[in-house]
Homo-oligomer: A and B are copies of this chain.
Amino acid sequence: MQNCLVAQSGGPTAAINASLAGVIRGVKESAAYDKVYGSLNGILGILEQHMIDLSETICTEELLQGLTHTPAMYLGSCRFKLPDYRDDDSPYSFIFKQFERLNIGAFFYIGGNDSMDTVLKLSEYGTAIGSKVRIVGIPKTIDNDLMITDHTPGFGSAAKYIASSLLEIAHDTFIYAVKSVTIVEIMGRDAGWLTAASALARNEYNTAPHLIYLPETNFDKDEFLSDVTRLLEKQNNVIVAVSEGIHDAAGTYISCGESIEDTFGHSQLSGVGKALEYLIKDNISVKTRSVEINVLQRCAAHLASETDLSEAFVSGQKAVTFAEAGISGSMVVMKRTGDAPYTIEYEHAAIKAIANEAKKIPREWINASGNDVTQPLIDYLTPLIQGEPTIPFKNGIPCYLDVSHLLSGIGY
């Protein structure tokens, strides 16, 4: 029997370890694979030979459950872009030698768009050298911007956190009988899925967020000020949900402070909330504050969506099944097969159509004025945040899996 290797990459989510747990379960149930190794810090762990035997580390059902509920990457992450193998095949030849050394039959990479670039490159190199190692991607991103799949594991939990937080911020806001504007800044550079999820905070008594601005449309300063002014005429508190990636018609980001490019050439943004806060303070005489929904939107496992965790887990299991069936150069995708009740099926899609692409919100799911979402988007989002997992607590705080193995190595 051959073994498997799995790694995690990109930014944290509350569900990425559920997919890892799904892979471990999948390998355990597989007739084709024996052990499952985990590479620490993504693909870097193979290059640096930092690998652990997950069949030994996660050896009980209790540990597997604990892993499922633990936020961020149990195996650590990396932001590492492989070179084109036609320019430099040295990392590739090293990686495939490790595959051989550990008798790896399948490699699973759990990640988002950039991680799927790694899956694509490894599978192309594998094909070129005639390797039989299956390379399968498992989707993960709070951004929900992967192509083909109906949605991405990790998104539902972030969406649930954002909707719940927005409702709590609304309760916090309504207490003063004075006019006020609250700007809530939400992650999302190119796609507004997460910010759109703030609309799920609306219920029988809460109409907030009253305005929603997404990167899919152009942001107009004057229209924004007029939207806010109009609302303040009929109500005391205006709550605005805004994506970090909003930009004007010229494509310039609305944000404060410097813009720094990361490894993948993306601008690192911050401060659109502050920028809008100052804009309102300068133009409308009203109490204004901005709240940045910080990194907790991607790591608050205590408020994960059970639907999300369960789908993430099954995605991991399916990756093993697909590899066993000979699938490679592909990513697990979810296809929505029903709305009432909500049902999905798991399939696989060629990685070439997924890597480095980003799925945006369709224009018709945003209202004409570009300041709210429409009902079909709410209907699409609602099933994804359903269900509350039972998270164990110990001594008053959530009880997650020990990740001290990530702390032992001093840097790459």
Chain A: residues with CB nearer than 8 A to chain B? 12, 40-41, 44, 70-73, 76-79, 160, 163-165, 167-169, 171-172, 174-179, 200-201, 203-205, 235-237, 291-296, 298-303, 305, 382, 385-388, 393-398, 400, 402-404, 406-407, 409-412
Central interface residue in A163, A204, A236, A296, by most chain B CB within 10 Å: A296
Further pairs besides A167-B398, A171-B299: 10, Cβ < 8 Å: A12-B172, A76-B175, A78-B176, A164-B397, A167-B400, A171-B301, A171-B400, A204-B402, A235-B410, A236-B411
Nearest CB on B from A263, distance (A): 11
List chain B residues, Cβ under 8 A from A407.
174, 235-237
Nearest CB on B from A341, distance (A): 14
Cα distance A206–B400 when bound, in Å?
11
Cα distance A236–B397 when bound, in Å?
24
Query: Assuming A176-B78, A411-B178, is B71 touching A205 (CB within 8 A)?
Result: no
List chain B residues, Cβ under 8 A from A177.
40-41, 44, 76, 78, 406, 409, 411-412
Q: Are B396 and A12 in contact (CB under 8 A)?
A: no
Cα distance A294–B407 when bound, in Å?
28
Nearest CB on B from A15, distance (A): 13
Name the residue of chain B whose CB is nearest to the CB of A16. Answer: B175
List chain B residues, Cβ under 8 A from A160.
396-397
Cα distance A169–B12 when bound, in Å?
10
Q: Are B397 and A163 in contact (CB under 8 A)?
A: yes
Cα distance A199–B203 when bound, in Å?
36
Q: Are A172 and B295 in contact (CB under 8 A)?
A: yes
Central interface residue in A79, A175, A203, A400, by most chain B CB within 10 Å: A175
Nearest CB on B from A208, distance (A): 10
Cα distance A236–B76 when bound, in Å?
13
Cross-chain pairs A/B with CB under 8 angstroms, 11 sampled? A40-B177, A77-B176, A78-B176, A164-B397, A168-B301, A177-B411, A178-B411, A205-B403, A291-B295, A292-B294, A382-B396
Name the residue of chain B whose CB is nearest to the CB of A237. Answer: B407
